[in-house]
């Protein structure tokens, strides 16, 4: 497999987001991605073995950037409540500002096979770890209940945020996803305290 960096590599991934969002993963052809990226079909195969590899790489890149950006935001927070607010806000605003990415992560990635699922699980686990760290910190600070099961609490937090994004991505009515950060945070923090 060729290198996984460079201008063309990222152009192909950006084109994949657009074409998967427009046509759906299963109806998108590699030639559609190549055309959107402005490269020859063969160029795509220099970087990726097949379409599944593009989707896995796309999710891995998106989640790596997402988690890195989130960790930078969290480093500026003073306590776990600020960190929880940052998690909610960052998640909603990031996808709210990238509707095509939201459509791919919320709709297209839900209709995949086991091979793709295995390829995207580790980056998602990295995000889950960040949420669990915030909950554990809240317990240490005495702001969150000590009898909380951290894993269950993380599932509830992620599930709530994820559902809000999914409803937004599927909605025919336009609204500001980021504006829901405050109400979602309020519901979640009350459940943790």
What pLDDT score does 122 carry? 85
In the block, tokens 């992620």 appear at: 158
Which of 33, 43, 38, 40 lies closest to 13 in space, CA to CA? 33
Q: What is the tens place of the pLDDT at every residue in 54-107?
A: 999 999 999 999 999 999 999 999 999 999 999 999 999 999 999 999 998 888
Asked whether the predicted pLDDT for residue 148 surpasses 60, the reply is yes
Please state the rounded mean pLDDT for residues 144-171. Answer: 96
CATH 1.10.357.10 fits 54-192, yes or no: yes
Question: Residue 124 CB: number of other CB atoms within 10 A?
Answer: 17
Q: What is the tens place of the pLDDT at every residue in 15-58?
A: 999 999 999 999 999 999 999 999 999 999 999 999 999 999 99
What pLDDT score does 105 carry? 87
Domain ranges for the chain, please list them. 54-192
Q: Higher-confidence residue: 183 or 115?
A: 183
Pull the structure tokens for residue 135: 């909950």
Dihedral sign of CA atoms 102, 69, 180, 124 in order? positive
Instruction: Phi first, then psi: give them for residue 176, nearest 5 degrees.
Output: -80, 110
What pLDDT score does 1 carry? 45
Q: Say if residues 134 and 84 touch (Cβ distance below 8 Å).
A: yes
Q: Distance (Å, rounded) from C-alpha 82 to C-alpha 76? A: 9
Percent of the chain with pLDDT over 70: 96
Q: Say if residues 142 and 81 touch (Cβ distance below 8 Å).
A: no
The SS3 of residue 72 is: helix
């Amino acid at each position: 497999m060729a290198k996984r960096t460079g201008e063309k590599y990222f152009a192909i991934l950006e084109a994949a987001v657009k074409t998967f969002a427009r046509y759906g993963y299963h109806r998108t052809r590699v030639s559609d991605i190549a055309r959107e990226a402005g490269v020859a079909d063969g160029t795509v195969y220099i970087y990726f073995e097949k379409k599944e590899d593009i989707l896995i790489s796309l999710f891995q890149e998106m989640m790596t950037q997402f988690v890195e950006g989130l960790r930078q935001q969290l480093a500026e927070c003073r306590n776990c409540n600020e960190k929880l607010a940052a998690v909610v806000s960052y998640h909603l605003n990031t996808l709210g500002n990238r509707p095509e990415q939201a459509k791919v992560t919320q709709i297209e990635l839900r209709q995949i096979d086991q091979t793709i699922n295995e390829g995207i699980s580790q980056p998602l686990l990295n995000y889950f770890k960040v949420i669990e760290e915030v909950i554990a910190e809240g317990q240490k600070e005495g702001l969150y209940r000590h009898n909380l099961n951290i894993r269950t609490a993380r599932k509830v937090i992620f599930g709530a945020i994820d559902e809000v994004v999914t409803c937004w991505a599927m909605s025919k009515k336009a609204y500001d996803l980021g504006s829901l950060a405050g109400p979602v945070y309020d519901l979640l923090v009350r459940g943790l305290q």
